[in-house]
Amino acid sequence: MWLKAWKQKKMDLLDQIVPERLPRHIAIIMDGNGRWAKKRALPRSMGHRAGVEALRKVVKTCSNLGIKVLTVYAFSTENWSRPKDEVGFLMTLLTEYLRKELQELHENDVVIRAIGGLQDLPKEAQRELNNSIERTQNNTGLILNIALNYGGRYEIINAVKKISGDVLSGKQQIDAIDEECFSNALFTRGLPDPDLMIRTSGEMRLSNFLLWQLAYTEIVVIDELWPDFGEKALLDAIIAFQKRDRRFGGIHTD
């Protein structure tokens, strides 16, 4: 559905992308909604609303390109410290997004997943999220993985607790704890680590995002604010990624 219309579009940037070397997993820190709104003398909530529009475009493009996983940082464990009405607005926006977009996402074969302390989200958001995850679980297209009440340190501690429990119950041998075992105890279990991480609005920080998984990820920081991010910026970031020389700590012998 999305793909058919997209294929009719002529995009020069697409010619620069090598299909065999697409990132399998793209992770995005969607930063700058507040500044986008401030520049326009609008309330911050309008920045978040515009941020949802950018997200819709990016999901569509990732799906059309054949990207396997897109992880977006929608709400961090630290974001609870924002004013109560902003937190409430972001939660409502999430519920609204899922409610409005589920059908189209489903028709386009998107799988919805979520990572983070989901049990602490408002009940309404949890209900909508569980429904979306369940509805789309047998799809085979893009995995849209939404990080909600997510923090890398929280995730790591959670994994340590899980593995410790397995050690105590005799299910896990200490000597057999390796990177694979640890990865499997994270919320991202079963997903490949991100190849490309994009952060908008020029900040050079990880902000507690996917601390374990980003070990060898290529990072692209873009000056544009998140609501201004669109198809062109995403394709530019992928082109930049494809020019990188990934050695994973080794050297090239050729």
Instruction: Tell me the backbone φ, ψ of residue 83, rounded to 5 degrees.
Output: -55, 145
Q: Which position among 15, 79, 208, 254 bears the catalytic label?
A: 79
**CA 183/CA 165 separation, integer angstroms:** 16
Q: Is 77 marked within a binding site?
A: yes
3-state secondary structure of 7: helix
CB of 36 to ligand FPP, least distance (A): 7
CB of 154 to ligand FPP, least distance (A): 16
Q: Is 158 marked within a binding site?
A: no
79: annotated active-site residue: yes
Closest residue to ligand FPP in the complex (CB): 34
**CA 30/CA 10 separation, integer angstroms:** 27
Q: Which positions touch ligand FPP (CB under 6 A)?
A: 30-35, 48, 51-52, 55, 74, 79, 90, 93-94, 97, 146, 226
Instruction: Tell me which H or E stretch contains 221.
Output: strand 218-221
Give the nearer residue to ligand FPP in terms of CB position, either 18 or 204. 204
User: Strand 111-115 relative to strand 218-221: parallel, antiparallel, unpaired?
Assistant: unpaired
Give the nearer residue to ligand FPP in terms of CB position, either 225 or 235. 225
Q: Which position among 31, 64, 193, 195 bears the catalytic label?
A: 31
Give the nearer residue to ligand FPP in terms of CB position, either 63 or 185. 63
Give the nearer residue to ligand FPP in terms of CB position, either 70 or 159. 70
- Known binding-site positions for substrate: 32-36, 44, 48, 76-78, 80, 82, 199, 205-207
